[in-house]
Amino acid sequence: MASPQSPVDTSNPTTNEDSTPQAILDTAIAVLNDDDTSSDEIKKSIATLTSLSHKPRGSSLDDISTPSLQLLSIPYHLGRAHLKLFTDVNDPTSRRRNVRTSIEYFLEYLRYCEEISDLVEDIVVREYRLLMDIMEEEEEIEDGGRGKKMKSLSAGQIREMKVSRYGRKKKIVEKIQKLEGLEQRRKRLDLAEEEEMEGLDGEGLRRDLFVERLRLYAEESLEEIQSSKGELEMLRMAIQMDAMRNTSKTDHMSDVRMLHHAAANGNSYNSSFKTDTSQSSHRPPLQLTQITQDPTTGQLNFQKQQITNGTLQSIGMRSATGITIQTQRQQIAETVFRPSWNLPTMSLDELAQIERDKAIARSASQKEAEAKAKFMPRRYDQLVRDGMEDDADLVEKSAALDRRWDDWKDENPRGSGNKMAERGDRNF
């Protein structure tokens, strides 16, 4: 991928000649970290960062001096700066240019991290190479080349990468917070540069802090590249929609000018010019036929559709026998103004007739049950009360019932049950 080129003028960077590159970098970072920074200040910071040299001089982490370590993060901060540049909402082309430039800077920083051994973990390098392969194939397809099948990450792979990256970032942030705490303690105690605290002198502490920050910037660069790729896709669609609207507007204005020109020359609107224009600009919409099968009846259904202004619209559906079938959209359209509550399904007279029939049926069943119960055996005193003491068969059956009842009372005299009288504290 080509080296990023900043669109900002870098001929007159606003730097102080007496300041060190590290101090200039700290000032630019402070500007980028401020949420209220204006667009002009961001552009000045981009010019300042671009003027600094940040290429690594060495293939190993031990070969790079401590002051130069901080300068390795310049491409990362340039990528952040281009993402923070303000652009007009109605100008997606400028925003897309800034996003692409920021991605190039993030990739440049990750390439530095890959070239320097022992700086980042192997998994960070693998994710960087995977993103590079995907973006190179995307560029090849955009240029019209016929390459291999484009690689893509599944939702599961993206989730695993995010979870793994979150764990790595959490560990790095904890280390940075610990080192920053040590740095503040050294300042409070006013320790000399060569004095050690927890096994680290002043330079060793700053070096470890720079290294951990570089590792954190690598993780954040991977995140920014993935999120920026999604934004680029949305910007590409916005640019295409703007181009379609501009083309339609241009064609309409051209037709109007030509019609005015024909009228000025005394030509009729119904001339051959109108016929040619209507044939070229008003083409019939593309029509499709979707064939489906009813899962219940197994009947084939033919649904006609047409594409109008980029939208797929249903015209109608017919079965194999020629019967017109309502589509789901038509069914919803017919019931869109129905009340949200359940409507009555019968009149009050119909409901009253149903309730009357149910009451008559209940009364008949109750009389039948009472008639059956009248000839059922029961205690003799109940027979006397019902006037059935003259029925010999019923009296005999009832006598057997009375004998069983008397036997049960003899076996279970009154008061023989457990009354729970001997349990608990008697004081209560």
Reduced 3-state DSSP string for the chain: CCCCCCCCCCCCCCCCCCCCHHHHHHHHHHHHHCCCCCHHHHHHHHHHHHHCCCCCCCCEHHHCCHHHHHHCCHHHHHHHHHHHCCCCCCCHHHHHHHHHHHHHHHHHHHHHHHHCECCCCHHHHHHHHHHHHHHHHHHHHHCCCCCCCCCCCCHHHHHHHHHHHHHHHHHHHHHHHHHHHHHHHHHHHCCCCCCCECCECHHHHHHHHHHHHHHHHHHHHHHHHHHHHHHHHHHHHHHHHHHHHHHHHHHHHHHHHHHHHHHHCCCCCCCHHHHHHHHHHCCCCEEEEEEEECCCCCCEEEEEEEEECCEEEEEEEEECCCCEECCHHHHHHHCCCCCCCCCCCCCHHHHHHHHHHHHHHHHHHHHHHHHHHHCCCCCHHHHHHHCCCCCHHHHHHHHHHHHHHHHHHHHCCCCCCCCCCCCCCCCC
What pLDDT sits at residue 85? 87
Contact call for residues 77 and 32 (beta carbons, < 8 A)? yes
Helices 122-142 and 202-264, packing angle to 10 deg: 10
Q: List the chain residues with pLDDT less than 50.
A: 6-18, 147, 268-280, 428
Tokens of 111: 């390439």
Q: Give the integer Cα–Cα distance in Å for 386 and 384.
A: 5
- Phi and psi at residue 212, to the nearest 5°: -65, -35
Tokens of 201: 């002198």
What pLDDT sits at residue 421? 60
Short-list 142, 148, 198, CA closest to 175: 198
Burial of 61-75, coded b for 16+ CB within 10 Å and e otherwise, reads eeebeeebbbbbbbb
Q: Give the integer Cα–Cα distance in Å for 135 and 225.
A: 10
The amino acid at 400: A
Q: Give the integer Cα–Cα distance in Å for 163 and 152.
A: 18
Q: Give the integer Cα–Cα distance in Å for 26 and 320.
A: 75
Contact call for residues 138 and 150 (beta carbons, < 8 A)? yes
What pLDDT sits at residue 277? 46
At which residue do the structure tokens 């079965």 appear?
319
What pLDDT sits at residue 89? 73
324-325/311-319 β-pairing: antiparallel
What pLDDT sits at residue 397? 79
What pLDDT sits at residue 150? 54
pTM of the entire predicted model: 0.53
Q: Give the integer Cα–Cα distance in Å for 302 and 321.
A: 10
What pLDDT sits at residue 10? 39
What pLDDT sits at residue 307? 76
Q: Give the integer Cα–Cα distance in Å for 169 and 75.
A: 20
Please classify residue 284 by burial: count the beta carbons closer than 10 Å to its beta carbon, then call 0-12 exposed, 13-18 middle and 19+ buried: exposed
